[in-house]
Every structure is written in structure tokens, then in C-alpha cells.
Structure 1
Amino acid sequence: MSGGRLQGFAAARIALLAGLALAMTLASPVTAHAQPRQDTSRGGNNAGDDETQRRARTRLELASAYYAEGRLDTALEEIKRALASSPDLPQALNLRALIYSALGDDPQAEESFKRALGVASADGDVLHNYGWFLCQRNRHAEADVMFQRTLALQQYRTPRRTLLVQGICEARSGRLELAEQTLKRAYEIDAANPATAMNLSDVLYRRGEHERARFYVRRVNNNAELRNAESLWLAARIENRLGNAQGVRDLGNQLRSSYPQSREASAFERGGFDE
């Protein structure tokens, strides 16, 4: 977030909404629920083991902070130190995968995800993030498997975020009817989430369900803290399809006054409603 506004909406294309979804997906890489394997074959060394784990988790917390700041190389160094202390810490492997993904090193990212799942096959955070990684690379069938495994976990506490990215992936692969069903499930769980409302509105717009699309995008635009150029532009496109010329003008005026340099304002000026 910046200045109290959610960033990353891209109403014209579902694929461009991925930025916000990813930010939500990676919100807490340190808080996975699975625990690393413990070596119980040797007795009397619990204090040493505890100190090793403490050091690893301290490094992990530092890496997470650096990652959040975009200091990826520094984050990676801290993760390497964490894994040197605790090679099977799934949270560290998960974060390493995210860092490598952000650095564009897909082979290393995937290796880290697979290693994390080898340690903790029922870790919902890892499954969720690996599913999103696969979706971004258009490996939709594999992504579906990861999302389904995530949602099947009884202890998984945030199904709404997995349903959101699953719906985005389904839309990106052209499965709009299925995407609508998935995003409606996410919306039923968390109707206040603007990312879900925007994605659902965009899917409905693309399916020709313009009245219904209007309902969801208005939920975003009626909140001054949430609306932005992308949400206004989606609303303008919907009103254009509904033949509401005055509504289109009003939304265009808001775009011009609030976001004059945005690509959405430029698209409005040239009448690119169907681009």
C-alpha cells in the first residue's frame, strides 16, 4: 500500500491484477505452520538444538524484513545463513523460493519450493505460493493441483486468499465461468476485500454480465480509500457497455482530475473502451 490506497489493480485485463494478489499471497513468509524435522536420534542436546533453531529463525526474520523492503540480495544472504543452521526449515525454503522468483531465477525458485514440500508436504503457505508461481508461468494444470491441495487442508486458515489467486489463474487461462464461481466463493468469505471485488467484476464484465459487474466495482469505487485509476476505468468500461453516457462522463472526469497522467486516463481520452 502507498498513501492509504491499494495499488496494483488493473481492471482492463485480469492478468494485470496479479500484482496485488501476489503481494497478498506473500504477506507472511515467516509464519508457516509446519515445523522442521527434528533429529531425535541423539539425546541430551536439546539446548544446542534450540539455540540452532533460534539463530535460524532470527536470520529468517531478518531475511523476511529485507525481502519486504525489496533488498533481495541481502535477503538471500540471510536465508542462506538460516539454512546453514537449519537446512530443513520449510519457512526459509519457502522464502528462498520467493526471493529467487523475484530475481527471475525460476529453476532455483522451483527447486526451493519442491524442497520445502519435501520437508512439509502439508504446509499451506508453500503450496499456495508454489501454485501462484506455476500460474504466473502459465502452468495452469499444475497450479490447480497446488491450490486444490491447499484448500483441502483442514488446518489452513486463509482459504480466501487461495481462492482469489485460483480465480485469477482460471481467468487468465480463459476459464471465465469457473473463475466466476471461485471468486464468488472468495467474496462470500471476505466481501470487504477489494481485490476480490475487482477481479470478480472484471470476470463478469468479460462474460457480458454488465449489471452484475457494476455491483462489484461500485463496492470499490464507493470507498475513497480504495478507488483508483484502474477501478474507475473498469467502471467506465462497464457503463459504456450499459449505454450510460452520463455515467461514463462522470467517471472520465474523475479519472482526469485524480489521475491525469495514468494510462487509464489516456485510454479514456482516446475512447479505448474495448482495447
Structure 2
Amino acid sequence: MKLALRYLRKDEMQLAKENLEKALEYQPNDANIYRIYAYYSQRVNEDEDAEKFYKKSLSLDSKNADTHNNYGTFLCRKERYEEAEKEFLTAIEQTSYSNVADTYENAAYCAEKAQNFDKAIYYYQYALSHNPNKIGLHLSLANLNINKKEFTVAQLNIFNFLKKSKATPESLWQSIRLSYATEKGASLNKYATQLLSEFPESQRALDYLNHEYY
């Protein structure tokens, strides 16, 4: 199983599969092997097999939070948002689970994809409360709050990010969007100048040049 993971990290997919098959020969009822096989199947775009392996893994170990989280991510990618949320919440409920913040972030991202923005904000906030070092989530919140016209809250989101980080293309972009939304032309020009000066090749610089504020 460890060899299979190593080969997956190196994108040596055939060798990964061979080692997963060998692992199942030795331990045909190991839930972890089926979870990794599900991930392998995702990587090679065999989604039907991936779902089959996730379900098999959970039938062997229904309380494995990592499997619920990974299955939720898979379901979200398939736009099965309600099923994905259920898997994320099941993962979070497991008392021994240590990656709660990551799963809340996954749930937030999935809710955002589903255009359930209030729920996305709720989950992003919970991710931050469980891991305040995930400072990039302040910008995810800023983006959503600007969209909701919650401009004071968005400003606080950006401020909280900048308390712990230097300006980034994303923080400058959210500042530009906020300035545009609140009709503060001088601020917009200031942040735009900084973005084009410090990060001229970034996607956010291109977004600004195309005036894609929303």
C-alpha cells in the first residue's frame, strides 16, 4: 500500500495499480486499501470504479473520517452537492478526526460551487475557527461578502488577512473589487497599480485588465 502511494505521488499509475492489487491479495478486507484504490481510480478518470471502492471502504469501516472526506470531495466534483455535504459532516463528527478545518474548507468550497453562498460563508468561518492559520480563507470570505454587498465585513476579512501576510495577487484583487463596488476610485487605482507593478504576470492582473470585477 505504501508503495502504491509512492507511485501515485510520482504519477506512475500502472505501478500504483499493480501494488494496490498485490495489497488486496494480502489483505482483501482492508478499508484503507480500498480508499487508496478509489483515489487511484479518480486519478485515471474511472469514476464508476472510484465510487465502488469508496463504498466498499466505508462498508468495512463506516467511521473512517478520511474516507468520508475524500468521498465527499469526489461527490462534489461530480456536482452531487447534497451527498457531498453529508459525507463532509460525517467526517467532522468523528471524534478522533484531526483534519476538521480541512473538511470544513472542502464543505465551504463545495457549497460555493453549488451557489449556496450563505452556507459557504458559514463553513469557511468554521474552518478558520478550527485553524486560524488558514489565512487565505479570509480572502475567500471577502470574495463572498463583496458579492453579497456586505462591504464592511469584506473590508474586515481583507484586514485580517493582511495582519498576517504581505499583499498577494488575491488580496489586491479583492481590494480592487471592494473599491469598485464602493465607488472608491482612488483606492482602486492604488491597488491596481500595486497589482500590475508587483504581480504583472498573475491571473489577477489579467482579470483587472479585462475589468472582470464580478
Cα distance in 1 for partners of 2:140, 2:22 equals: 39
User: Paired residue for 2:152?
Assistant: 211
Does 1:263 find its partner at 2:206? no
Q: C-alpha offsets along residues 189-241 of structure 1, whole Å, 9 cap, x if unaligned?
A: 212103432322222222211221232234445513xx543343223212221
Structure scoring higher RCO (CA < 8 A, sep ≥ 6) equals: 1
- Alignment of structure 1 residues 156-235 onto 2, 5 Å: 156-221=97-162, 223-224=165-166, 228-235=168-175
Give the residue type in structure 2 aligned to 1:259. F
Cα distance in 2 for partners of 1:68, 1:198 equals: 29
Does 1:237 find its partner at 2:177? yes
Q: CA deviation at 1:270?
A: 2.8
Give the residue type in structure 1 aligned to 2:116. R
Cα distance in 2 for partners of 1:105, 1:82 equals: 20
Give the residue type in structure 2 aligned to 1:117. L
Give the 3-state SS of the residue equivalent to 1:193 in structure 2.
coil
Choose which of 12, 19, 28 in structure 2 pairs with 1:87.
28
Cα distance in 2 for partners of 1:137, 1:78 equals: 27
Cα distance in 1 for partners of 2:27, 2:81 equals: 33
- Aligned partners of 2:169 and 2:195 also within 8 Å: yes
> TM-score, normalization: structure 2?
0.89
Q: CA deviation at 1:176?
A: 1.3
Choose which of 120, 138, 146 in structure 1 pairs with 2:61.
120
Any gaps of 5 or more consecutive residues in structure 2?
none
- Alignment of structure 1 residues 245-260 onto 2, 5 Å: 245-260=185-200
Give the residue type in structure 2 aligned to 1:237. R
Cα distance in 2 for partners of 1:75, 1:211 equals: 50
Question: Residue 270 and residue 96 in structure 1: after superposition, are their counterparts in 2 closer, same or farther (change >3 A)?
Answer: same
- Aligned partners of 1:202 and 1:213 also within 8 Å: yes
Identity of aligned residues (%): 21
- Aligned partners of 2:34 and 2:53 also within 8 Å: yes
Does 1:63 find its partner at 2:4? yes
Cα distance in 1 for partners of 2:162, 2:14 equals: 38
Cα distance in 2 for partners of 1:113, 1:100 equals: 10
Cα distance in 2 for partners of 1:257, 1:68 equals: 36
- Aligned partners of 2:151 and 2:178 also within 8 Å: yes
Question: Residue 84 and residue 254 in structure 1: after superposition, are their counterparts in 2 closer, same or farther (change >3 A)?
Answer: farther
Question: Residue 212 and residue 73 in structure 1: after superposition, are their counterparts in 2 closer, same or farther (change >3 A)?
Answer: farther
- Aligned partners of 1:168 and 1:199 also within 8 Å: no
Cα distance in 1 for partners of 2:119, 2:11 equals: 34
Cα distance in 2 for partners of 1:72, 1:100 equals: 10
- Aligned partners of 1:198 and 1:231 also within 8 Å: yes
- Alignment of structure 1 residues 8-47 onto 2, 5 Å: none
Give the residue type in structure 2 aligned to 1:230. E
Give the 3-state SS of the residue equivalent to 1:101 in structure 2.
helix
CA-based RMSD of the aligned residues comes to: 2.0
Cα distance in 2 for partners of 1:173, 1:257 equals: 35
- Aligned partners of 2:139 and 2:170 also within 8 Å: no
Question: Residue 137 and residue 191 in structure 1: after superposition, are their counterparts in 2 closer, same or farther (change >3 A)?
Answer: same
Cα distance in 2 for partners of 1:218, 1:75 equals: 45
Does 1:144 find its partner at 2:85? yes
Cα distance in 2 for partners of 1:77, 1:202 equals: 44
Choose which of 49, 70, 94 in structure 2 pairs with 1:153.
94
